[in-house]
Chains A and B, each alone.
Chain A
Amino acid sequence: MPNEALLDLTISELAPRIASGEVSPVEVTEAARARAERLQPVLNSFITLLPERAVERARELEAEVADGKYRGPLHGIPIGIKDNIATRGIRTTVGSLVLSDNVPDEDAQVVALCEEAGAIILGKENLEEFAAGATSNNPHYGAVHNPWGLDHIPGGSSGGGGANVAAGVTFASLGTDLGGSVRLPGTFCGVVGLKQTFGRVSQRGLMVTSFNGDHIGPMTRSVADSALVLQAIAGYDPLDPSTVPVPVPDYLEGLGSSLAGLKAGVPSNYFFDEVDAEVETSVRNAIAALQELGVEVVEVSLPSMQYVGALRAASLSDGIVTHEPYLASAREKYGPNVVNRTMAGQFVLGRDYSRAMKVQRIIKEEYARVLQEVDFLVTPTAPIPAPRIDAVDIDVNGETHRVRGPGSGFISRNTSPMNGNGLPAITAPCGFSGNGLPIGVQFIGRPFEEGLLFKVASSYEQVSPSRGVKREL
């Protein structure tokens, strides 16, 4: 019988046991495989499961430990990879029918780095079609279900990864975040989701995307695990011009140290303007908890956020250009939500694109100014807990918002600005709604200060009402 109790551990807890030989990578992988196969009919979190490949790789890694070759904390750890990240010799569909038979001949840089660090790929995870949306209700591969409420979305677009990490199927999953697609599954599934600084991690091998704001980032069950995964994948990639040659620090260094002396900014506008009452209460409680941990909290104003919608001109334009070859050759294979949303890009004026780039500059400069006054910002990650899978619209404080398809930017209103300004942001669980759905708090930092975010989120994690609450399926 596989030892499923191992799957309740975090990477930080499990790694020393693998290093010492007390636990074998094969034992862990067999347990993860069994849970993945048991839960796939429930969560629909994978598009392609790789059980035999994973166990075979675990045997090699087991032998390495026996030979004294321990690669580090990801050695022998089963992880998931979102199915828009290229994997050599393994089908990579991008959640689409158009690329249903696509088998890349090269690994994405992050995949190569994870495998080099000893991680074991358990499978390719389900997502929104072409990663273009926040529901992970895929018209071709089926809806991903949220482990905390099976009738609810896990968030998206990296929903399979969020569901897998929350359900203890994988210890970490690599997702992609162009508007919140790591942080939204993070908040809706009650796990930690990181979108690091733009340029910190190579995007090479991230398929059918806009290079103006996409990020590959980890979802994990603890902040320390997020730091461990970023440690493995961060760094300059000479073959990806979006990466920046900034040295990679030791992300574990600050964990556990005092937060006294730090100053947090709580935005007085935009981020709390259209938020569900239970979400606001949970996030305000998280802010109070930070104060008890020694953080000084001040209100800050970000007036330029009233113009943030203009960045849509850029994302819509990028979207139509990215999809043009596929739309030209295989439009009939698209689901209606993505095709309709993408088609809007052909109506964007070049003048507006240029204005959007200037607005983006104004927003970036405003955040830079505010982050001189405070060390980090605190906001709700999403304005609501996870909506139901069948929801078309949702009502929040008397306003109706679309959940999917054209005009559905509401869910990502608090996350997408950080794709525009490039700043690092992490979501951590901060409690539950009345019907038991997770809620997340978002910490936003200065460029390349992921270490500070880990320190803050890790300290908060110790006092969060979500601490120790696990989902048994």
Chain B
Amino acid sequence: MGISNETMRAIIREYGGFELSDEELEQVKPEVDSYIEAMAETAELDLSDTMSSRLLRAAEGGSQDA
């Protein structure tokens, strides 16, 4: 599991990202691979009925009498 240098270069090129030298790509890759690996772990999760944590529930803070 991981991302190829070619794909990374294509993303930078097509989406106007920050240019990276070959050496820099190699340095960045462990962090990218680590994120991809972590996301792969969640593939088994059915998140269709899960709310985003972006939504705030009343019980998560706030008080009328503050």
Chain A interface residues toward B at CB < 8 A:
197, 199, 236, 244-247, 306-307, 309-310, 312-313, 316, 327-328, 331, 336, 339-341, 343-344, 346-348, 352, 354-362, 364, 402, 405-407, 409, 422, 447-448
Contacts and interface: CB of A to CB of B under 8 A. Distances in A.
A389 to B, nearest CB: 20
Contacts of A310: 38-39, 41-42
B6 interface: no
A309 B52 contact: no
Interface of B: 3, 8, 11-12, 15, 17-18, 20, 24, 27-35, 37-39, 41-42, 45, 47, 50-55, 60-63, 65-66
23 contacts: A247-B63, A312-B34, A312-B38, A313-B39, A316-B31, A316-B35, A328-B18, A331-B18, A340-B28, A343-B18, A343-B20, A344-B35, A347-B3, A347-B32, A347-B35, A358-B47, A361-B55, A364-B53, A402-B30, A406-B29, A406-B30, A447-B60, A447-B61
Contact of B45 (A307, A357, A407): A307
B53 A357 contact: yes
B18 A327 contact: yes
Contacts of A448: 61
A310 B61 CA distance: 25
A422 B61 CA distance: 11
Listed residue (A360, A361, A422) with the most chain B CB atoms within 10 angstroms of its CB: A361
B interface secondary structure, majority: helix
Contacts of B45: 307, 359, 362
B61 A246 contact: yes
B34 A409 contact: yes
Given A247-B66, A340-B24, A406-B28, A358 B38 contact: no
A404 to B, nearest CB: 12
B39 A355 contact: yes
Given A312-B35, A313-B39, A406-B31, A360 B53 contact: yes
Contact of A341 (B18, B31, B51): B31
B3 to A, nearest CB: 7
A358 B63 contact: no
Nearest to A246: B63
B34 to A, nearest CB: 5
Nearest to A405: B27
A201 to B, nearest CB: 13
Most A CB atoms within 10 A — which of B11, B39, B60?
B39
B61 A406 contact: no
B65 A247 contact: yes
B63 A347 contact: no
B5 to A, nearest CB: 11
B45 to A, nearest CB: 7
